[in-house]
Amino acid sequence: MKILYLIAFFLIFAVALLFSLLNWHPVDIYFYKDFSISMPLVLALTLELLAGIVIGLSVRAMRIMKLKSEHEKLQQKLIQAEEEIRFLRASKGNEP
């Protein structure tokens, strides 16, 4: 299975390298009216990809933090419920 992953990695790497070499011509990126930057197309696409990855990871991190908070609250409720069950069982055993 590792060999399959290695082959897939090198195949994707080769395609990306070929794409990079074929798309090295400069493009103008316009931000606002007259403000633009000229850079190679491959660099512009790489920066776009990295920005997307950072945004995606940020959204995922926020979701994970929210789920951890919910988990802690549910864990506390579970502990309280278990303590209540133990108390009820103990009080039921003490009655004549």
Where along the chain do its domains lie?
25-94
Helix (H/G/I), strand (E/B), else coil: 30: strand
Q: Is the pLDDT of residue 19 over 90?
A: no
Dihedrals φ, ψ of 23, to 5°? -120, 50
Of 27, 77, 71, 75, the C-alpha closest to 47 is 27
In percent, the amount of the chain with pLDDT more than 70 equals: 96
Among the ranges given (16-20, 50-54, 77-81, 84-88), the one the predictor scored with the smallest mean pLDDT? 16-20
Average pLDDT, the chain: 91
Identify the burial level of 21 via C-beta atoms within 10 angstroms of its C-beta, where 0-12 means exposed, 13-18 middle and 19 or more buried: exposed
- How do residues 63-96 score in pLDDT, each as one tens digit? 999 999 999 999 999 999 999 999 998 887 665 5
